[in-house]
A = this chain, B = another copy of it.
Amino acid sequence: MATEDGAKASGRRARRGGGREGRRVQRGAIGSAAPAYVTRKLNPFEIVSEEGLAQIEYNADSLLEQVGVEVRDTPRAIERFKAAGAMVDGTRVRFPRGMCREIIQASAPSVYTQHARNAARNVQIGGDATVFAPNYGSPFVHDIDNGRRYATLNDFENFVKLAYTAPHMHHSGGTICEPVDIPVSVRHLDMVYAHLRYSDKPFMGSVTAGSRAQDSIDMARIGFGGDLADRTVMTSLINASSPMVWDDTMLDAAEVYAANNQACIITPFILAGAMAPVTAAGVAAQSLAEVLVGIAFTQLVRPGAPAIFGSFASSMSMQSGAPTFGTPEPAIVLYTIAALARRLGVPFRSGGSLTASKIPDAQAAYESSATLHPTLMAGVNFVLHSAGWLEGGLALGYEKFILDCDQLGSMAAFAQGLDMSPNGQAIDTLLQHPPGEHHLGTQHTLQNFETAFYTSTTADNNSFEQWAEEGELNSAKRANAIWKKQLEDYQEPALDPAINQELREFVERRKGEIGLHDS
């Protein structure tokens, strides 16, 4: 194991800012007080019996045995499956009952560490850990000053900075938004560079081609000081083409990552009724089948390569067929698949702060909460889209990002459960306290007051009169001031200038080799 060079990048931190707003932003900007990830002290909430889960597993195996998956445009992948015992008929690959599960359970880790450039920000993925990562993949950004517009590299860098300074955001993410001002062919280089330079939190690599995955690995190697030494430093998003198709783009990228011991999130993206049956147990069975194939593939490439069971499932508007978010049925799917992932023995990715709303209004918040609460309660290990998501993922909102990050802090506090220490029980102060007198000035209150409650960074708890006097701001307007201050106060984490130089040279060289084109 190499020395963790990233550890020396301790990160200078914003110290400016006065008054209430200053304190609020400073708390937001520092982040050193928050752990690198959430360690949940609550058991996951179970909604399905063991018998029910076994039935869904049986259904998934029936599907793999009788229908199988289409494996498109990658004979090499088909060969791998065939050599492992799959039944191949052209591009259709069928699997004997239990085959994929056996392969996975023989080697896929249940827990792994994703290393960050700053070792203090390494994250555990799996088990009782929950890691929050930002929004992913939006072509648009939104803020309340300018409305919705195409995202640029400047926006991308802004969000890397905002994620870096958000104390309860554990991860820098990947394609936080699509910097559409950069040609597709080289976009991944600028994105990976931004993650390595503007943050020292863990991040995700490119998945849009095997070669781009390789570029991501090469850049990570430079960023981590020249040697990955089998450390997992990226966790990247590999999507199935549901229903029941795996294509060459995704399998090629997965192959590159797995071969280099980097982690893949194997994720069916399912709009129930379109990419799968409309019922939750049907979505769960199909998702399991697709994931079994995807994770088995990573283990065939390299036994022991980290892989996450991913699920993204949404429901649909009955009026228009548009995807809907924060509705109860995807929450039921989430709880069900979380339990299936635990039984399989691999980390689980799902959830986030999802909404169909175009703006950071009450709809956005209700829907985001209705996804985020199940996310925590189901014990999701890796949470993509945990902040910023708007408009079914088409847009990434600046204010939404700030508001969601505040909720992540709340979730982190909730996950600690009930403090039953003597101080938590407070029995001494209870027994000394006379009826009818308030507890504001007791020693117990004074000793605990500052740490007793999670403090929201965005809520206004003032009186109506004070709120009115301060301009009747809604929470989006307060969030608007916060992200601007956070960007203003942002300071880059330390990065060895030689490493930065090498990264820049790599990006320039590869841009020259690849050429600028939009595919």
Residues of chain A at the chain B interface (Cβ within 8 Å): 20, 42-43, 45-48, 52, 55-56, 59, 62-63, 66-70, 92, 148, 241, 243-245, 272-282, 284-286, 315-324, 326-329, 331-332, 335-336, 356-370, 373, 377, 391-392, 394-395, 403, 406-407, 410-411, 413-414, 417-420, 423-427, 429-431, 433-440, 442, 444-445, 448-450, 452-456, 458-464, 467-468, 472, 474-476
Docked pose: A434 CA to B92 CA in angstroms? 10
20 interchain pairs, CB-CB under 8 A? A43-B46, A62-B427, A62-B430, A63-B430, A63-B431, A243-B433, A243-B438, A244-B433, A277-B445, A279-B425, A279-B448, A281-B419, A281-B425, A285-B430, A318-B453, A332-B417, A335-B418, A356-B459, A356-B460, A391-B464
Contacts of A410 in B (CB 8 A): 326-328, 370
Contacts of A359 in B (CB 8 A): 472, 474
Task: Return the contact of A362 from the options B66, B360, B472 (Cβ within 8 A).
Answer: B360
Contacts of A467 in B (CB 8 A): 358
- With known contacts A318-B453, A420-B55, A459-B363, A439–B47 Cβ distance under 8 A: no
Contacts of A331 in B (CB 8 A): 414
Task: Return the contact of A439 from the options B278, B360, B364, B449 (Cβ within 8 A).
Answer: B278
Task: Return the contact of A461 from the options B317, B370, B407, B429 (Cβ within 8 A).
Answer: B317
Whole-angstrom distance between the Cβ of A351 and the nearest chain B Cβ? 13
Contacts of A274 in B (CB 8 A): 438-440
| Beta-carbon contact of B278 and A454 below 8 Å | no
Residue from A278, A362, A367 whose CB has the most chain B CB atoms within 10 Å:
A362
| Beta-carbon contact of A362 and B475 below 8 Å | yes
| Beta-carbon contact of A45 and B377 below 8 Å | yes
| Beta-carbon contact of A59 and B425 below 8 Å | yes
Whole-angstrom distance between the Cβ of A197 and the nearest chain B Cβ? 32
- With known contacts A362-B476, A458-B363, A42–B47 Cβ distance under 8 A: yes
| Beta-carbon contact of A281 and B424 below 8 Å | yes
Docked pose: A440 CA to B426 CA in angstroms? 57
Docked pose: A322 CA to B456 CA in angstroms? 13
| Beta-carbon contact of A403 and B362 below 8 Å | yes
- With known contacts A279-B452, A362-B362, A452-B279, A357–B459 Cβ distance under 8 A: yes
Contacts of A426 in B (CB 8 A): 277-279, 281-282, 285
| Beta-carbon contact of B67 and A433 below 8 Å | yes
Residue from A20, A286, A361 whose CB has the most chain B CB atoms within 10 Å:
A361
Task: Return the contact of A244 from the options B69, B241, B365, B435 (Cβ within 8 A).
Answer: B435
| Beta-carbon contact of B461 and A424 below 8 Å | no
Task: Return the contact of A364 from the options B277, B362, B373 (Cβ within 8 A).
Answer: B362
| Beta-carbon contact of A244 and B45 below 8 Å | no
Docked pose: A67 CA to B427 CA in angstroms? 11
| Beta-carbon contact of A275 and B455 below 8 Å | no
Docked pose: A361 CA to B365 CA in angstroms? 8
Contacts of A327 in B (CB 8 A): 410, 413, 453-454, 456
Whole-angstrom distance between the Cβ of A267 and the nearest chain B Cβ? 17
| Beta-carbon contact of B435 and A245 below 8 Å | yes
Closest to A277 in B: B426
Docked pose: A66 CA to B434 CA in angstroms? 10
Contacts of A322 in B (CB 8 A): 461-463
